[in-house]
Structure formats: C-alpha cells, structure tokens
Amino acid sequence: MPDQDLFAAAAADQLARQAPLAARLRPATLDEVVGQEHLLGRGKPLRSLIEADRLSSVILWGPPGTGKTTLAQLIAHTTAKAYVQLSAVTATVKDVREVAAAAQDRLGQYDQGTILFLDEVHRFNKAQQDALLPSVESGLLVLVGATTENPYFEVNPPLLSRSTLFRLEPLGDAAIATLLERGLRAEGATATPEALELLVERCGGDGRHALTSLEVACALAAQAGEPPVVGVDEVEAALGTKALRYGRDEHYDVVSAYIKSVRGSDPDAALYWLAVMLESGEDARFIARRMVILASEDVGLADPMGLVVADAAARAVEFVGLPEAQLALAQATVYLATAPKSNRAAVGIWEARQAVRERGGGAVPLHLRDAHYRGARDLGHGKGYRYPHDADAGWVAQQYLPDELIGHRFWEPSAHGYEADLAERAPGPDAEHHDQRRAP
C-alpha cells in the first residue's frame, strides 16, 4: 500500500475515534435504527423500498435528531445506484447541474442510476429547486431530501408533487432510553436512574441532542482512573447549553396558539406563547403585525381601543426595539386578551367581498354617483340625493346599496362591549333591526 494510502487510513481511523458520540453510534443497518417504526418496521413502506433498492424520490421531514441523515447513509450502503451527497447550505445551481451531468454520463456508460441526498433541502431557494426539477422529473436523479421545515411551505410544489413525503416523528422515551444505554456502553460509563430520566425528559425526542448531552455529562463526571458515573448535576450542566428549537413549522403552531389564546381571553396563555416566540428569536415586528390584525379581527368594535393599543405596540417595536419593546408587546397582549370580543366587522367585510365576487360590483344608484363634472347632471348623476346633514336627525332614509342588494345586511352587531352601544344608537331604519338582535 502506498505511503499516502497508509496516512489516509490512519487519519480516517483517528477521525472516527474523535468523532462525536452521536456520529460514532450512527446505525450501520436498518435493524439498529431506533424509533420510526411506522416507516422502518418490518413490512413498512420506507423499509421495503430501501431493502428492495426501488426507492423513488422522497422527502424526509422531521425534527432534528430523528434519523434523516442516518437513513440517507443507510440508503447509500444498500443501494446499487451511485450515491451523491450535497448540502443545500453550500451547494449552488452549478453544483446541481454538475451532479446531473455526471449522472447522465454514468447512466449512459454503466447503466447505473444516481441517488442525490440533499441535506436541508429547505435552504434551497426557488431557482435552485427549479434546477433540480428536470432531473427528478425524468428519473435521472432519485432525490432524497432532508428537511426540518414543513415542506408544504419550503419545497416548491412541482418538486414536492414528484416526491413521496415521509414524516419522521420525535423519538419516544423508550427509543431515547435505548440510545442512552448504547451511549453509556460506548463511553464506558454509568448513570443514575434520575439522570437518565432527566435526559429523556429534556431532549425533546431529539436523539442527537440526547447523545451529545450524555457525552458532555460523561466528560463532566470523569474521575481520574474511575469510570464516569453521570448524575443529575452533570446532566443539568450539559443541558444548560441547548437553545430553544424553533423551526418554521413550530413558528406557525406557536403563532396559532398565541392568537387563539388572545381570542379565547386567556392572558396567561397569551403571555406564555408570546414568551416562547420572543425566546425563540421571533421577529418582534411579525408579532406586532399579528397583534394589529387580531385587534381588528377578534376584538373589533367590542373595544375599538384594542386597535389603538396594538398599533401603539407596533410603533414601540419600531421606535424602541427589543428587549424593551417586549414590555409594550406584553401590555398589548394582556389588553387584547382581556378585552370584550367581536368579529362582526371582520365577518361583514368577508361577506361583502363574497357578495361582490358572486354578483359583481353592482351598479351605483344614480343619486349616489359623482355629479361634480360638466354633463353629469344631464346623465341623472346625483339627482335626488339628500344631504344627511341638512336633516334634523342627521340621517335620511335613502338607498345606498345596489338594487340587487337592497335590504341586505353585512354588519350584524354583537351584544359585546362598545359594539352593543353602537347598535343601540345606530341611526336610521337599521336601528330597530340591530337593536332586535342584541342579547337580552
């Protein structure tokens, strides 16, 4: 063996020994994989496709540490196809085209297909994903894409429609416990039951995080000449460095929980989800925009000051910035959560727009049409219009809707807060109608 080969082999062995625990324990066979039984159990779809080497393009979607990269490497070990790996973080359109060209040559010369593993596929922009599409569509490349983000948001629909989506779930407690047992054996260590329970509880179904934390805890527990015994103190110290995970999928879930907590008039829950967003690095301007929207949609005319408060909080975010702007966001959150609620104005505009879509714009009644230009009066514009301010009551009974919508009502006031007062004092013929719809 040439000297350079010996040096390369020695370097590879050294790297393998120095690799993180999670990398050293990466499964070598499908039977060694823990969790994901719904995909990898005997007779389950993904396992069957891998074992038969008949895998078509797939997207592996799941949280960090659930086995996406592991599965890709197992596919590489079992397939007769060529296996190429790219990271969407660093790869370019040029890289994709070079892989496709090499795959074309390989297919022509050796009749061998090509599997492309694209890690973090959600990091590819639209142009980069579009560059993949022809090769995936023709079958030249079998794409194995891995993503922690919701592919329905992050993967172009044409590419997604040509791939089978497999969702990997967070690892269960039993699976995490199995990984930790393997890790302890590899580290030559033991752990107290309380320490293991804490690791299982705190890792959030993330196998890689569990093993990384265990490795740190073992290092902290190491005593000269004695096998490490990991306790709760070491685990707590190891866990203290993990940042709160917040992917785009969680982004939408947490925002939804925040909005629904405000709508449901639970200030404590609303403050909690606000804190989750802030701790996860959510853009305060995004939170402020959502606040302004829900102030109109969910608080509405029951408390018109809600919109003023939300707008003030949004301005504070721009003027003050974080961290101090969290105070304005919290104040507005509590105000909106405790305010009376009404969505009747929002429902009104939705129904009015639906009427326009279904019936068209409708002809403006002649007496409401613009009559300020020469010849308008000759066309009947403005004829018969009555100026409300000339009436003692401040209103006059006249037609304002198109002929086909006469009598149609879009605003049905609620009996909540200020909106009930608006309904009671509404002038004109609608006053009686609105008043009859007030709750007793």
Domain 248-338, architecture per CATH? Up-down Bundle (1.20)
What is the DSSP secondary structure assignment for residue 298, as one 8-state letter? I
Element spanning 244, H or E:
none
Fold match, 36-167 / 248-338: no
pLDDT score for 378: 75
SS3 370: coil
CB 349 within 8 A of CB 367: no
The whole-number pLDDT of residue 377 equals 80
- What pLDDT, on the 0 to 100 scale, is given for residue 388? 87
How much is the pLDDT for 71?
A: 93
CB atoms within 10 A of CB 341: 22
| 97-108: burial string, b at 16+ Cβ within 10 Å, e else | eebbeebeebbe
The domain ranges of the chain are: 36-167, 173-239, 248-338
Q: How far is the C-alpha of 402 from the C-alpha of 364, rounded, in Å?
A: 6
| pLDDT given at position 181 | 96
What's the pTM value of the predicted model, to 2 decimals? 0.59
- List Cβ neighbours of 210 (8 Å cut-off, separation of 6 or more): 65, 171, 176, 179, 180, 183, 199, 200, 203
Q: What pLDDT score was predicted for residue 371? A: 81
- The yes or no reply on domain 36-167 and CATH 3.90.226.10 is no
pLDDT tens-place values along the chain, 440 residues long: 555 555 555 554 555 567 899 889 999 999 999 999 999 999 998 999 999 999 999 999 998 899 999 999 999 999 999 999 999 989 999 999 999 999 999 999 999 999 999 999 998 988 889 999 999 999 999 999 999 888 988 899 999 999 999 999 999 999 999 999 999 999 999 999 999 998 988 887 899 999 999 999 999 998 766 888 999 889 988 887 444 555 556 778 899 999 999 999 999 999 999 999 888 778 888 899 999 999 999 999 999 999 999 999 999 988 888 889 999 999 999 999 999 999 988 898 998 899 888 888 788 888 888 888 878 787 888 888 888 898 888 888 888 888 888 888 888 888 888 778 777 776 655 544 444 333 33
Distance CA 333, CA 380 (A): 52
The Cα-based distances of 120 to 39, 68, 223, 296, 391 in angstroms read 20, 10, 39, 38, 68
CA gap 276, 251 in Å, rounded: 10
Q: Which CATH number fits domain 173-239: 3.30.930.10, 1.10.10.10, 1.10.8.60, 1.10.3720.10?
A: 1.10.8.60
Decide: 95 and 116 in contact? Cβ < 8 Å. no
Name the token pair of 169: 């779930």
